[in-house]
Amino acid sequence: MAALWPSGPLTIPVLVEADASGGDLGAWHRLTGRPGLVSLAASVRAVTQPDPDAVQEEDGTRRVLLKHATELPGGLRVLHAPPTAHEAAAVVAALARRGHVLDGGVTVLDLGRVMPGTASAHLLAMADAAVFTVAGDDAAQIYRISRCREVLDALSETGTRVGLAVRASRFSDAEITAETGYPVWANLPTDSTAAAYLRGAAIGPRSLRERFAAWSHTRQDPDSVEWMPLLATTRRLAERIDDLLCPIAEPRSAVRELEGAAA
């Protein structure tokens, strides 16, 4: 979603892997030893709360974030997390205590599973929008979201837009919304080619259908990857959220993406 965010010349979306259980980006893209969440946490851990006037300087806070981001092939800026929980939990907690460094632009956070009272929950509370991914073929996950209604309502009451991204659903959007109380913003297709691409694999269209889809896109945009159904859907999701957030005069951070249901 960060890579496909609608952006202009001055917009630099950043993906922050803030999953306290550990991250995958480092292994997928061979980022060991590169700047990331660890270096960002180290830079802000010893700093006392900055002057309020300094916090409001969005360019300054954005420069701090970009300084510790690594640019992947294709241009996406990422801050990867350590791979293990005992390492990742500490740096996510440091990030939560200095959440102002996420301000000043579009920041997409992967928070993983969010538990009450944790640093991830604190980051979630700062969000302008939250996307919960749900397995639509698992009634238990949908029921779990419905049981979190009070938590999600509390987020909405403080200004966070909440929506669902449902994968492999055997229920209609209307049924899921009726059960959970929240809208389905996207239906995520099963797309092994796009999944491999996101993991850093160098791939190209293989089947005749993929080759035709690739041709229909790339004849207009040589760098397009939206011939992959998952990425095309994700582009529409990013545009939808961007439209929802446009009326917000002073956005807080941006988007927090959550894997699975929050407790």
Q: Residue 38 falls within a domain, yes or no?
A: yes
- Give percent helix, percent strand, percent coil of the chain, each to the nearest 5: 45, 15, 40
Does residue 261 register a pLDDT over 70?
no
Q: Residue 227 falls within a domain, yes or no?
A: no
Boundaries of domain holding 142 = 14-202+249-259
Per-residue model confidence as pLDDT tens digits over 10-47? 778 999 999 999 999 999 989 988 999 999 988 876 55
Q: Residue 1 falls within a domain, yes or no?
A: no
Decide: helix, strand or coil at residue 57: coil
Sign of CA dihedral 65, 67, 72, 73: positive
Per-residue model confidence as pLDDT tens digits over 234-249? 999 999 999 998 865 4
Share of the chain above pLDDT 90, in %: 54
Tally of CB atoms within 10 A around 127: 26
Does residue 166 register a pLDDT over 80?
yes
Q: 6 falls in which pLDDT band (50, 70, 90)?
A: confident
Please give the average per-residue pLDDT across 57-85, as a whole number: 86
Q: Residue 3 falls within a domain, yes or no?
A: no
CB neighbour burial string for 52-68, b if at least 16 within 10 angstroms, e if fewer: eeeeeeeeebbebbbeb
Q: Residue 216 falls within a domain, yes or no?
A: no
Residue 142 dihedral angles phi and psi, to the nearest 5°: -65, -40
Q: Residue 249: what pLDDT?
A: 44
Query: Could you tell me the CATH number of the domain that includes residue 24?
Result: 3.40.50
Q: 103 falls in which pLDDT band (50, 70, 90)?
A: confident
Q: Residue 23: what pLDDT?
A: 94
- Which strands make up the sheet holding 77-79, listed edge to edge? 70-71, 77-79, 14-17, 107-112, 254-259, 129-135, 161-167, 184-188
Q: Residue 259: what pLDDT?
A: 54
DSSP-assigned states of every residue in 107-139:
EEEEEES--TTSHHHHHHHT-SEEEEEEETT-H
Q: Residue 73: what pLDDT?
A: 82
Q: Quote the pTM value.
A: 0.81
For the chain, the average pLDDT equals: 83
Does residue 105 register a pLDDT over 80?
yes
- Domain count for the chain, please give it: 1
Decide: helix, strand or coil at residue 259: strand
Q: Which of 118, 126, 51, 129 is CA-nearest to residue 88?
A: 118
Please give the average per-residue pLDDT across 171-176, as a whole number: 95
30: left (phi over 0), alpha (psi -120 to 50) or beta: left
Q: Residue 26 falls within a domain, yes or no?
A: yes
Q: Residue 197 falls within a domain, yes or no?
A: yes
Please give the average per-residue pLDDT across 110-128, as a whole number: 93
Stretch (H or E) spanning 187: strand 184-188
Q: Residue 30 falls within a domain, yes or no?
A: yes
